[in-house]
Amino acid sequence: MTTRPEFPIGVFDSGVGGLTVARALMQRLPNERIFYFGDTARVPYGIKSEETIAHFALQIAQFLLEKQVKLLIVACNTMAAVAARAIADLAPVPVLDVIEAGAQAAAAATRNKSVGVIGTLATVTSGAYDRAIHRHDPAIRIVSQACPLLVPLVEEGWLDHPVTRLTAQEYLAPVLAQSVDTLVLGCTHYPLLKPLLQQVAGAGVRLVDSAETVAARTEALLRERGLTRTDGTARHEFFVTDVPQRFQQIGERFLGRALAPVHVVKW
């Protein structure tokens, strides 16, 4: 498949969470076009089987490849945890994912070799972050914690609500008790909680935002391959499988800007 600089970047997630990745890309690479796919009809993925998640992920990847994207970004930790290899095998273009980007950043950031990881139950139980971090440094000790209540709180817009703060304190207490100095935000919803999570974790804990790290890796990869789009208007497109109005409402909160018209895809 021949790719060109003017082709868009394909970003996909089970719902709206991956828009934090899209936002980081827009900030770092303002000339790039982004085609974003959120599988809003079948979210949440975190409670589904690995076989089902992989099937959905490959279906979405194929849809974006047919739109002639020059790069695929798996902006869903749950999909990346169980299907990253299958997506890479399918795609004739480069594939990046939030887990590998976050793992690399965490391994580089930790000073005492103790790293905490928070995410959905599916992401945490998959052990994907453990494997990815240990590929960079087998000596790192990893403390993982599933935080299933944080996603609905973010989507409700309760980013600095007392309930969200108490919930974060409960989830992080056992992780912080293990003296981690680095905390990986292993769900793409969590970057919206960074100020609150930083307060709960304390100034001595470095937060790893995989949205920012994958955006940095995207910039480097496009430059390396001569695929950077340097001019033109960055017209983004958004695709969902259900409830476009809710996606647009929550999505504008995530992006901090108005969304282009949202297209509904019927399989």
Spell out the per-residue pLDDT of the chain, length 267, in tens: 689 999 999 999 999 999 999 999 999 999 999 999 999 999 888 778 889 999 999 999 999 999 999 999 999 988 998 899 999 999 999 999 999 999 999 999 999 999 999 998 888 988 999 999 999 999 999 999 999 999 999 988 899 999 999 999 999 999 999 999 999 999 999 999 999 999 999 999 999 998 999 999 999 999 999 999 988 788 999 999 999 999 999 999 889 888 878 999 998
Sheet containing 141-146: give its strands across: 141-146, 114-119, 182-186, 206-209
Same domain, 205 and 175: yes
Q: Look-up: residue for tokens 């085609």?
A: 35
Q: Which residues are annotated as a binding site?
A: 13-14, 45-46, 77-78, 188-189
170 and 150 in a single domain? The answer is yes
65 and 112 co-located in one domain: no
Claim to verify: residue 104 and residue 70 sit in the same structural domain: no
3-state secondary structure of 35: strand
Output the CA–CA distances (angstroms, integers) from residue 212 to 65, 121, 152, 185, 195, in the order listed: 24, 23, 22, 11, 15
Residues 6+ apart with CB under 8 A from 39: 12, 13, 14, 15, 45, 56, 60, 240, 241
In this structure, the answer to whether residues 106 and 73 fall within a common structural domain is: no
* Residues paired with residue 144 on neighbouring β-strands, in sequence order: 117
Q: What is the pLDDT of residue 202?
A: 97
- Do 130 and 189 fall within a single domain? yes
CA–CA distance, 73 with 95 (Å, rounded to integer):
6
To the query of whether residue 76 is one of the catalytic residues in this protein, the response is yes
Check 122, 147, 187, 259 and give the catalytic one. 187
Shared domain check, 81 and 68: yes
Q: Enumerate long-range contacts of 240-244, CB under 8 Å, 24 or more apart.
A: 240/37, 240/38, 240/39, 240/40, 240/41, 240/264, 240/265, 241/38, 241/39, 241/40, 241/41, 241/42, 241/265, 241/266, 241/267, 242/40, 242/41, 243/40, 243/41, 244/40
Report the largest interatomic distance among the alpha carbons of the chain, rounded to a whole angstrom. 51
Shared domain for 124 and 226, answered yes or no, is no
Same domain? For 167 and 216 the reply is no
134 and 88 together in one domain: no
Tell me how many domains the chain contains.
2
Q: Which of 26, 76, 128, 185 is catalytic?
A: 76
- For residue 222, give its domain range: 9-97+212-264
Q: Please enumerate, by residue number, every residue annotated as part of a binding site for substrate.
A: 13-14, 45-46, 77-78, 188-189
Annotation says 147 is catalytic = no
Please check whether residues 241 and 206 belong to one and the same domain: no
Degrees to nearest 5, angle at CA 15 with 32 and 135: 75
189 within some domain? yes
Residue 180 in tokens: 């981690």
Same domain, 206 and 233: no
Task: Yes or no: say if 173 and 165 are a contact pair by the CB < 8 Å rule.
Answer: no
Scanning 10-127, the segments in alpha helix (DSSP H) are 19-28, 50-65, 77-90, 98-109, 121-126
